[in-house]
Amino acid sequence: MDGVNADEHTLQEMLKGDVPIKFDWANKWLKGDEYAHILAHIDEYSQAFGLEKLAPKTHPDCIYVQPQSKQALEITNVL
């Protein structure tokens, strides 16, 4: 399902199902309910979108102890 341009009401209805939803993850951070949907249906998302399943806590430790917003990271990389 394509949820990239879905309005909030439609997106909330889509989240009630089990079908993988294409979110706009390339251009924005996912909301909690969007991310939760992916995690709850990770096998389906892996198949539908080729998402890799990673072992727990495979990100660098700084992600967990000093998270930064995407916007802050983009500004830091410019400077």
Q: pTM value?
A: 0.66
Question: Looking at the domain assignment, is residue 1 inside a domain?
Answer: no
Per-residue model confidence (pLDDT) at position 63: 75
For the chain (79 residues), the mean pLDDT of every run of 10, in chain order, is 92 94 92 94 93 77 74 55
Residue numbers of the domain that contains 47: 8-78
Q: 20 is written with which tokens?
A: 């993988």
The verdict on residue 3 lying in a domain is no
24, 50, 63, 72 from 75: Cα distances, Å: 21, 30, 17, 5
pLDDT of residue 70: 63
With respect to residue 62, please indicate whether it lies within any of the assigned structural domains: yes
> Phi, psi (5° rounding) for residue 20?
-60, 140
**Residue 26 maps to a domain:** yes
The pLDDT value given to residue 71: 61
Structurally, the chain folds into a number of domains equal to 1
